């Protein structure tokens, strides 16, 4: 039986990454390709280089993200059944690229930049991974990046629940209302960029009432053929 590719997209703060990490525990011979983290790492590398958010906004339509990946030596490795990113020889902590500033920057330029070469790179990488593993891909525009995807899920939850989960992620360092506004801003940017569009294969999964990441993952798993 051939390996499969499962795409996980969704609203900001709905728990996509946690769901992926629960699924990889359940589905045999599986890895996670954190496509969103790759994109975040490239933008983070640019910010680390001194590019401000205003500069990134101005450059957005001209940026070739794959060229930026090569310029700043952003690389991917598989460790413990999931991809991690390096900038040069430095492994990048996920908290850095998941920060509020990095998230806003990614949402701001993601729909403006030239993503074509990066999408092609990601497609070839998924094909390479699929030769040996089942692949769970987390990110945006997954049906565009990989049209042959076997399952595509769009994870949703209420705004209040998503804000609550982000508060936990940020360890309550931000006020609830501030985080809520941040989510609304990112939602708007993602929608304007066309990243919230559903395809014919997409299955929406509402996890508002799920009490744990495992429960959310099981809801996704119930839609995958054994």
**Residue 193 clears pLDDT 90, i.e. is over it:** no
pLDDT at 131: 97
**Residue 195 clears pLDDT 80, i.e. is over it:** yes
Mean pLDDT (whole number) for 18-42: 96
Percent residues over pLDDT 90 in the chain = 70
CB 140 within 8 A of CB 197: no
Q: Taking the model in full, what pTM does it have?
A: 0.91
pLDDT at 173: 63
- CA 187, CA 163: separation in Å to the nearest integer? 12
- CA 7, CA 174: separation in Å to the nearest integer? 30
pLDDT at 1: 66
Average pLDDT, the chain: 91
pLDDT at 56: 74
Mean pLDDT (whole number) for 23-35: 96
Mean pLDDT (whole number) for 78-91: 96
Closest C-alpha among 196, 98, 63 to residue 142: 196
Eight-state DSSP code of residue 93: P
**Residue 155 clears pLDDT 70, i.e. is over it:** yes
**Residue 154 clears pLDDT 80, i.e. is over it:** yes
Read off the tokens for 16. Answer: 């996509």
Eight-state DSSP code of residue 25: H
Q: What is the pLDDT of residues 156-181, one digit of tens each?
A: 999 999 999 888 877 766 688 999 99
Q: What is the pLDDT of residues 96-125, one digit of tens each?
A: 888 878 888 888 888 888 999 999 999 999
């Amino acid at each position: 039986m051939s390996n499969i590719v499962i795409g996980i997209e969704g609203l900001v703060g709905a728990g996509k990454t946690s769901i992926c990490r629960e699924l990889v525990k359940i589905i045999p011979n599986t890895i996670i390709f954190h496509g969103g983290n790759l994109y975040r790492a490239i933008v983070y590398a640019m910010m680390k280089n001194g590019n401000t958010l205003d500069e990134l906004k101005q450059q957005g339509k001209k940026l070739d993200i794959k060229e930026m990946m090569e310029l700043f030596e952003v690389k991917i490795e598989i460790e413990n059944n999931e991809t991690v990113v390096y900038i040069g020889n430095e492994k990048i902590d996920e908290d850095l690229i998941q920060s509020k500033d990095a998230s806003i920057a990614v949402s701001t330029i993601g729909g403006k930049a030239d993503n074509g070469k990066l999408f092609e790179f990601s497609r070839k990488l998924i094909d390479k991974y699929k030769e040996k593993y089942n692949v769970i891909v987390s990110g945006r525009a997954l049906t565009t990046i990989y049209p042959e995807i076997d399952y595509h899920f769009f994870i949703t939850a209420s705004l209040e629940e998503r804000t609550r989960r982000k508060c936990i992620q940020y360890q309550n360092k931000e006020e609830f209302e501030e985080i809520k506004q941040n989510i609304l801003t990112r939602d708007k940017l993602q929608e304007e960029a066309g990243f919230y569009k559903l395809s014919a294969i997409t299955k929406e999964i509402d996890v508002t009432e799920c009490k744990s990441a495992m429960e959310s993952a099981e809801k996704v798993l119930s839609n995958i053929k054994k």
